[in-house]
Structure 1
Amino acid sequence: MSTELREPPLMRADNRLPGTPTKTKKRRAYSATGSSKEMWLLLLPALIPVVVLSVYPLVQGILLGFTDAAAGYNRPVNFNGIDNYTELLGNDLFWQSFRVGLIWAFSVTILQFLASMGLALLLNMNLRFRGVARVLALVPWAIPPVIIAIIWRLMLNPTAGPVNSTLAALGLPSDINWLGDPTFALPAAIVVGIWAGMPQTTVTLLAGLQNVPSDLHEAAALDGAGAFRRFRSVTIPSLLPIIFAITTLDFVWNFNQFALVYVLTAGGPGGQTMLPMLFAYNEAFKYGNFGYASAMGNVMVLIIAALLVFYLRRQAKERQS
């Protein structure tokens, strides 16, 4: 039998065996748990309004789209499955409004981007009174959409508006009913939408232009590149992430536009400016078909969600590359 004696394990300076959990580790675990609880307690004042005012109405709206809810005193609400959606598939007026909405959103987004890029390039130049010009460029951003629509209704008035008065002074046709003629109503609304949405796009692009390294422009100039070539080869590639982000967000905002077009034309004349949001609003509050209108809203939410998923995936790929 071996009589070899084993040496006792080495003791630490604090008289603990190796591997014994320390009070410091316990304190860290406790502090991590405590900080997590404190974090949620601090977030509650911000989360409660979001849940009550955004998440809960959204969930209620989604559920309402699967019911036959309609206006009426003590009218029972029954679950009708996908009946609203099958009826929606055959509603030509809704898909007509959807087509108008796409025309509106794409036109306003693209033209707004082009105008905002030109204005941002101008405001980025070292011009006199540049600060005043930048402040003036933000004026439409400070005006509510309803007020913007009222101002433009007055300007586009066929008899007393300054637009037709200016055309008359130039010897051009001046009897155009801009918001009442089916030919001109949508183009006129698009112009108003461009003017109303330019400030945020201009500010975003201007911030991007100021972050483009000047060394790249100087190197391109030394290589003999002109202003247009520098803009195409240096400025645009540097702004691509910002351009993609702002145009995607602008499209979502424009597709969901309601107040501006509602005050301008209320969807007329003849449905030429009837955006999907206006169509769903009329279905709910003019005809009282709440369930059917909620189904329309759900379809639009799915489309917007698909656009956002596409945007987020594109952003993730750009970050990985």
Structure 2
Amino acid sequence: MGPDVWVLLLPALIPIAVLSLGPLLYGVYLGFTDARAGLNVPTDFIGAENFKELVHDGLFWSSFKIGLIWTVSVTVLQFALSLGLALLLNVEGLRLRPLARVLALVPWAMPPVVIGIMWRLVYHPDAGILNQALQTVGLLHHNVDWLSGFALALPAVIAVGVWTGMPQTTVTLLAALQGVPADLHEAAALDGAGTWARFRVVVWPAIKPVVLSITSLNFIWNFNEFGLVYVLTGGGPGGKTQLPMLFAYMEAFRYGHFGYAAALGDVMVVIIAVLLVVYLRAQTREEAS
């Protein structure tokens, strides 16, 4: 590119460098220091000491395990339910289909904080609508504290994560389904293929690249989740819903260990970078084939 092109790109590159690249590099540097909260507290470069401590930190590995359970569960359930909903919304002649499509997008229009507050009310042990509904149909005979029980908190939070992330997955899959040529369906039907056979032979190969893209991106987004879980449980009870990003936040802003929290962030950046490389390579192979 010539110098004139760089001049045209500067208005876009400068904000990226100042607001994205600069803080990222500073955060990486902090991971190699003993930075702590407080005024006039000296900060020293300590090399890889934070990362050595991280390797032996059982709380971090516990949050990492919980993060993987959360990420895999939410991503898989989001895809399965969104695919079913997209197939339903793609049916010609479905009554009130425009209204159903609008309602399917409602969670997408709500900020994570609002969603967290709303679901805290739904899960409320005494006044929550979930307990009342389950008791009305006879499935429960006493109030359940969904967000404070050690066995129930993580599944309850996962359910909210699935509900929150379904709209964008549904819209993406619906667009892919509408891109499948109608003549392929007709040809398969003339050959005697049933509904499942048409989906397996015609629909799935056509939407597979989109499925790969949206599930990979969902995995990365879900692994980075913070705000929703913070509002719902704050990582409790007893750390049972403490995702890695929430653990790093607590280390920084509750305990004042900025250097150690930055090291946690550095590890997360590396993990996300690896996931992105895997995603891009898979995309390249899919396009090549």
TM above 0.5, one fold?
Answer: yes
* Residue matched to 1:148: 115
1:60 and 2:60 matched: no
Would you say 1:301 and 2:269 are equivalent positions? Answer: yes
Aligned residue identity for 1:317: R
The letter of the residue matching 1:50 is I
The aligned counterpart of 2:90 is 124
SS at match of 2:193: coil
AA of the residue aligned to 1:123 = L
Distance 1:229 1:251 in 2: 29
1:131 CA displacement: 1.2
Query: Distance in 2 between the 1:165 and 1:41 partners?
Result: 63
Check if 1:188 corresponds to 2:182. Answer: no
Counterpart pick for 2:137 among 170, 191, 195: 170
Give the Cα separation in 2 of the matches to 1:318 and 1:113.
19
Alpha-carbon distance, 1:43 to partner: 2.6
TM-superposed deviation, 1:44: 2.3
Letter in 1 for 2:32: F
Q: Which runs of structure 1 show a deviation greater than 6 angstroms over 4 or more consecutive aligned residues?
A: none
Q: State the 1:42 CA deviation.
A: 3.1
**How high is the TM-score relative to the length of structure 1?**
0.87
CA RMSD of aligned residues (A): 1.1
Matches within 5 A, 1:1-321: 33=2, 36-37=3-4, 39-126=5-92, 127-173=94-140, 174-321=142-289
C-alpha displacement of 1:46: 2.2
CA distance in 1, matches of 2:38, 2:103: 49
- Of all paired residues, the percent bearing the same amino acid is 62
- Counterpart of 1:279, as a letter, is F
Amino acid at match of 1:129: L
Residue type of the partner of 1:315?
A: Q
- 2:100 alignment partner, SS class: helix
Looking at structure 2, the residues matched to 82 and 304 of structure 1 have their Cα atoms a distance apart, in angstroms, of: 20
Q: Deviations over 1:76-118 (max 9, x none)?
A: 1111110000000000000000000000000000000001001
Q: Distance in 2 between matches of 1:125 and 1:300?
A: 41
Equivalent-residue separation in structure 1 for 2:281 and 2:138 (angstroms): 53
Any idea what SS the aligned residue of 2:22 has? helix
Query: How many equivalent residue pairs?
Result: 287
Q: What SS class does the counterpart of residue 151 from structure 2 fall into?
A: coil
Task: Give 1:220 deviation, angstroms.
Answer: 1.1
Q: Which structure's CA Rg is the greater one? A: 1
The one of the two structures with greater contact order (alpha-carbon pairs below 8 A, sep at least 6) is 2
* CA shift digits 1:138-189 (9 cap, x unpaired): 1111100000000000011010111000111112224111001011100000
Amino acid at match of 1:274: Q
Query: Which amino acid in the other structure matches residue 42 of structure 1?
Result: L
Q: Distance in 1 between matches of 2:104 and 2:10?
A: 38
Deviations 1:34-54 (A, max 9, x none): xx51x3333322222221111
